A = this chain, B = another copy of it.
């Protein structure tokens, strides 16, 4: 499998490119609107055709590139059924399996950061969006976030995967790129062995974080697949 991890520095967002070496089809997980030119160039260099864009959720911090990529390259966007976006091509739910050439993946519904968060499991690696971050997790104080639900998603859907599964998050703010389920079970600050469900809920309910800088522009823009003017 062709694999690239791409970083958008303004919002510390990871985007992932996965490609099938047989069909030369590619997908992007969580593409960012401002990076569409970069993706197009990279796809050209690798000789790949963009087939799907996969969203882990409706983002509050950055604008999805899925709509622009569809216009430019004819890709189809995949989101969770509960996302309420205005222009998805394929709406998925927990347990569904999809295939692109030689690549296959499972959809895991992992709500809690938002109601429609999903993780995508590709054999030995899982893309967790903002549900499970390296050493942490997404916040739960907007977009119908729910700390108890996030605790259950992570413990029941992600921590039950094979321990050697690689964890690729939607963001990292400290330069970390990848972890594993084993490492997160053992070492995650918010979700490790010493943190029970009630402690986690208390912790998450008292983070007192400011809202993401671009949330009031980003959420409506993402509900329109990133095709809305988002000039602050």
Contacts from A to B (Cβ < 8 Å): 51, 76, 81, 88-93, 95-101
Query: Can you add 8 more A-B contacts, CB < 8 Å, to A89-B92, A90-B96, A99-B100?
Result: A51-B97, A81-B88, A81-B91, A89-B93, A89-B95, A90-B91, A98-B99, A99-B101
Whether B76 and A96, one on each chain, are in contact in the complex, defined by CB atoms closer than 8 angstroms, is yes
* Chain copies in complex: 2
Least CB distance from A73 to B in Å reads 13
Residues of B within 8 A of A91 (CB): 81, 90-91
Partner of A90, one of B51, B90, B101: B90
Residues of B within 8 A of A98 (CB): 98-99
Least CB distance from A79 to B in Å reads 10
Q: Please list the 4 inter-chain residue pairs (A to B) with the smallest Cβ-Cβ separation, ordered nearest first.
A: A91-B91, A99-B99, A89-B93, A89-B96
Whether B92 and A90, one on each chain, are in contact in the complex, defined by CB atoms closer than 8 angstroms, is yes
Whether B93 and A90, one on each chain, are in contact in the complex, defined by CB atoms closer than 8 angstroms, is yes
Residues of B within 8 A of A99 (CB): 98-101
A100 to B98 Cα, complex, angstroms: 8
Most chain B CB atoms below 10 A, which of A88, A90, A100: A90
A209 to B97 Cα, complex, angstroms: 41
Partner of A76, one of B81, B90, B97, B100: B97
Least CB distance from A85 to B in Å reads 11
Residues of B within 8 A of A88 (CB): 81, 93
Residues of B within 8 A of A81 (CB): 88, 91
Least CB distance from A82 to B in Å reads 11
Whether A76 and B89, one on each chain, are in contact in the complex, defined by CB atoms closer than 8 angstroms, is no
A95 to B52 Cα, complex, angstroms: 12
A95 to B89 Cα, complex, angstroms: 8
Least CB distance from A225 to B in Å reads 13
Least CB distance from A52 to B in Å reads 9
A210 to B167 Cα, complex, angstroms: 58
Residues of B within 8 A of A76 (CB): 95-97
A96 to B89 Cα, complex, angstroms: 7
Give 17 CB contacts A-B under 8 Å.
Answer: A76-B95, A76-B97, A81-B88, A81-B91, A88-B93, A89-B92, A89-B93, A89-B95, A89-B96, A90-B92, A90-B93, A90-B96, A91-B91, A98-B98, A98-B99, A99-B99, A99-B100
